[in-house]
Amino acid sequence: MNDRAGSESDFAASRRRANQAATLTETTLRVVQRRGRRMAIRLENIYWDQLLDLAETDGASLNELIFKIVGDLDKSTNRTSALRAFCLHRLRQEMALSSMRSGSIDLAAIITACPLPVMVLTHERKIAAYNPAFATQILQPSKRSETDEGKSSLRLIFNQPFNKIVQQVHDNPRKIIAGQIGFSTGDVHVQRRVRYALADRSEGDNSHLIVFVEMPMET
């Protein structure tokens, strides 16, 4: 009798999980609009849920986030694929940050493997480390030669006082803080959205900042 009851309970639980999975993978058509432009996008519910969460994290509306991701793509580019790719990138970023906070993984390995440009900043606004993606996508385009001169000439321009950014990150160690940084040399200037996190909570006020740099979606 107990075996039968257990089997029925397992079957019911399995059905619930299957129904939940089916709900998440069902597609929903939404019409988003911004500044007179309209787009009809059909996407799985699990992606709509993540996009809503990301929009809230970014302090933006769902429409604003979607137009930021796919608004400038040409008609030959699959918008739903771009949105899924964006969700995956952000999920990987969140997982990396979670692992870093747990203290159970090599921080250098996470930064090196990250597909996004990443740099580590000291409280003096100096770059203590960076990953290969940062070298190829941020440093190299701004270099005038293959010497260290290009690196040393890179200037970081923050959208708010740096000490305020540091304070926000330390006051919210479990959150990702959004911001913007201008990367500038004498003749090149680009503005990028970034996300800040603590490198190591155990270090307290001495912890460096990890900075993830968002790059424009390729068309």
Pair 117, 185 in one domain: yes
Whether 94 is covered by a domain: the verdict is no
Identify the pLDDT of residue 187: 75
**pLDDT below 50 — which residues of the chain?**
1, 11, 143-152, 219
Pair 55, 129 in one domain: no
Whether 91 is covered by a domain: the verdict is no
Q: Give me the domain span that covers residue 30.
A: 2-71
- The number of distinct structural domains making up the chain is 2
Between CA 151 and CA 135 the distance in angstroms is 9
Whether 77 is covered by a domain: the verdict is no
pTM of the complete model? 0.52
Whether 96 is covered by a domain: the verdict is no
Domain containing residue 130: CATH number: 3.30.450.20
Instruction: Give the residue ranges of DSSP H helices in the chain.
Output: 2-25, 45-58, 62-70, 79-102, 107-113, 132-134, 140-142, 149-152, 162-171
Identify the pLDDT of residue 164: 92
pLDDT in tens, 81-139: 889 888 887 777 676 656 555 555 567 777 877 888 999 898 888 888 888 888 888 87
